[in-house]
Amino acid sequence: MTEKLKIAIVELKEVDAIALAGEFLDKGNSPDELLKLSVEAMGDIGDRFEAGEYYLPELLMAGEIMEAINDLALPLMAEGEAKEKGEKVVLGTVRGDTHDIGKNIVRFMLEANGYLVIDVGTDVPAENFVKSVNESGASIVGLSALLTVSYDPMKETIEALVSAGMREQVKVMIGGAPVDDTVLEYVNADARGATAVAAVVLANNWIADKDK
C-alpha cells in the first residue's frame, strides 16, 4: 500500500491518493508516517518539476493533494505534536505577488516536519511580516515570489526587519521560480530554497546550529 500511495501522489491521481491515504490511516498506520510518505512523494514531484516533466499546473494539483492529506493527518496527531513540537516560521508571498502554490507546498512540507507555520498569505507588505515575527517570536522567515517585480519587496521586507531590530533573531530564506543567487545577494537574505524540500533542509540546519 505504501508504494501504491506514493505513486498515486507522484502521478497526481488525486482521488486515488486521498482514498489510499484514508485507508493507510484506517489500517493503523500513524499520521506521522503518512506525512513522511507525503514528503517523500513531494520530493519526487519537485524532481520532476526541475527536470521539466511537470509545470505549474502539476504543482497546483500536487498542492491540492497535499492539503487534502494534511487535513486527514493533522487532526489525528497528538495535541500539539503536529505543529508545536518545532520552531515557528513566518511564511508569505511578498507585496505585489498573489501567487501561493509554491508557498503552500513549502508550508505543508514544513508542517509535516514539525514546524509551526504562521502563513501570512499573499501580497504581504513588509510591515505585516515584521508584525508577525514580533507577535510569534518566530526564528525563521520565508519569503516567496513568482514574479521578478518581487525582488524589491523582498529587499524591503528584510530591511524592515533590520529597522525593527529583529534581523539578528531570524534567519530569512527566499524562494520561487525567478530567485537565484544574484537575487539572494541583492535582497540580503540568508539563503534560498530551490525546492520545498530544500526549504526544510535549510530550516533544519539553522535549528541544529542554534541548538549547539
CATH number for the domain spanning 70: value is 1.10.1240.10
Indicate if 47 and 145 belong to the same structural domain: no
- The pLDDT of residue 56 is 77
Is the residue at 136 inside a domain?
Answer: yes
Residue where a domain terminates, one of 76, 101, 116: 76
Q: What distances in angstroms separate CA 150 from CA 82, 117, 171, 179, one per listed residue?
A: 32, 22, 19, 10
Catalytic entry in 38, 139, 144, 150: 150
Catalytic residue among 97, 119, 139, 144: 97
pLDDT tens-digit series, residues 91-122 = 999 999 988 877 887 887 788 777 889 999 99
Half-sphere exposure of 57 (CA within 13 A, CB side): 1
Verify that 117 and 204 share a domain, yes or no: yes
163-197 pLDDT, tens digit per residue, is 999 999 999 999 987 899 999 999 999 999 887 77
Q: Which domain holds residue 186?
A: 88-210
| Residues 60-80: tens digit of each pLDDT | 788 888 888 878 887 776 544
Answer yes or no: 150 catalytic.
Answer: yes
Same domain as 147, residue 104: yes
Per annotation, catalytic residue among 99, 100, 119, 132: 99
Judge whether residue 82 has pLDDT over 60. no
For residues 162 and 179, is the Cβ–Cβ distance under 8 A? no
Whole-angstrom distance, CA of residue 141 vs CA of residue 120: 11
Measured distance between the N- and C-terminal CA atoms of the chain, rounded to whole angstroms: 39
User: What total of structural domains would you count in the chain?
Assistant: 2
| End-of-domain residue from the set 76, 111, 136 | 76
pTM of the model: 0.71
Does residue 55 register a pLDDT over 70? Answer: yes
